[in-house]
Amino acid sequence: MNAPSSLDLFEGAIARLDKAFQFADIDAEALERLKHPKQILQVSVPVRMDDGSLRIFTGYRVRHDDTRGPTKGGLRYAPSVDISEVKALAFWMTFKCAVMNLPYGGAKGGICVNAKELSRLELERLSRGFIEQVADFIGPETDIPAPDMYTNAMIMGWMMDAYSKIRRQRTPAVITGKPIPLGGSQGREDATGRGAYHCMHEVAKRRDLVIRKTRVAIQGFGNAGQHIAQLLHADGYKIVGVSDSRGGIYKEDGFDIPSLIQIKNESNRLQAVYCTGSVCEAIEAEAITNEELLELDVDVLIPAALENQITIDNADRIKASVILEVANGPTTNEADEILNKKGKLIVPDILANAGGVTVSYFEWVQNQQGFYWSLEEVQKRLGEMMKREFNHIYECMIEMNIDMRTAAYAVALSRIGEAIASLGTAHYFSENDS
């Protein structure tokens, strides 16, 4: 899997606004505001390593827009983290929250680090040190971080604990994605994959798909990729291709997904197996690259890995008729144009992977109330919201005769525009009071 170039990632993200502007009810002044992040923070985090040496790590936090509420967004640990990437991710979070009609704006953060090279103690020092640097920038009513690439519930727990110690009071609502004993929500672990699954469920109804004949390929077999694979497999979809950062595998007849997940999580290797109880048997499968997986002859392609995977270089060879974007920004603007001309349905990332932030919102609400919901309640509410917003955007797509991504941005722009206009724009202030 090629790491994305984030040199123009933010510029590419905001370029999509101009296309959606003509279909949205938003003042041009409000649109211009959304092209500029509200606040950007860069910090240096000193960490005493296990060998006694000192290393300095660079961290970022970007608050893109808070017109509709406190900002919300994940924190990632990755060597590729830079300010352009974080700005783009914060921008997408603003629109993701608006698409789901959550009372949030968008934010994102990250630390430039290869987390796999750190010990658990070093990771804890880094996580707590980062919170010490950004404590005045975040808060339950200001900016609420969550897990993202190479961060998890344990790390979120450390961060919540560090913030609480700084504030001298337990403050669970400052961070979401925490362990359940520390105020986390039921259903958070599979929320992104489950939200995408609900979108796929609606696609199947809208497109009259015969589920047991529908072939699926999934690029990225981490948390989200595994969960949507499991849910689709249980429904009878044929998952014929999967991949991780090391490469992929293909099997014409489809894989036994529970067995793949078991071996992947036990050995960190993606290999074709079939498991009965505790006995796993290797089965034949064709080794393929991540690039080849994207071009498989399938009905549904699910990019669930990195940004910029479908580009002008390979878009014309994409055979899937439905592309469900579980990753953030997997399709470039140029590729979008090619795929749309070919009649592909792209369920955009700001809708397809919004299950995670939706259940994070549920967690924040529960923390604020001090009252916690059952797993069934969380999953029921998530399903209702994903289906409602999917169908609203799909209907807008049909009504305005535009692609689904543009429809999603138009819906989000209209909602954000209403909030900005409520505070007054040039049109309001230039009116004659008489």
| Residues annotated catalytic, as ranges | 108
CA–chain centroid gap for 80, Å, is 17
Q: Return the SS3 of 109.
A: strand
Other C-beta atoms closer than 10 Å to the C-beta of 259 total: 18
CB 182 within 8 A of CB 172: yes
From 317, 268, 324, 259, select the one nearest 293 (Cα to Cα): 317
From 232, 264, 262, 263, select the one nearest 245 (Cα to Cα): 264
What distance in Å separates the CA atoms of residue 147 and residue 100, rounded to the nearest whole number? 19
Write the CB contacts of 242 (distance below 8 Å, at least 6 apart in sequence).
217, 218, 219, 221, 225, 229, 248, 249, 255, 260, 270, 293
Give ∠ CA 201-207-208 in degrees, rounded to 5.
Answer: 85
What distance in Å separates the CA atoms of residue 328 and residue 289, rounded to the nearest whole number? 20
Dihedrals phi, psi of 144, to nearest 5 degrees: -120, 105
Write the CB contacts of 336 (distance below 8 Å, at least 6 apart in sequence).
346, 403, 405
Write the CB contacts of 358 (distance below 8 Å, at least 6 apart in sequence).
100, 102, 191, 195, 382, 385, 386
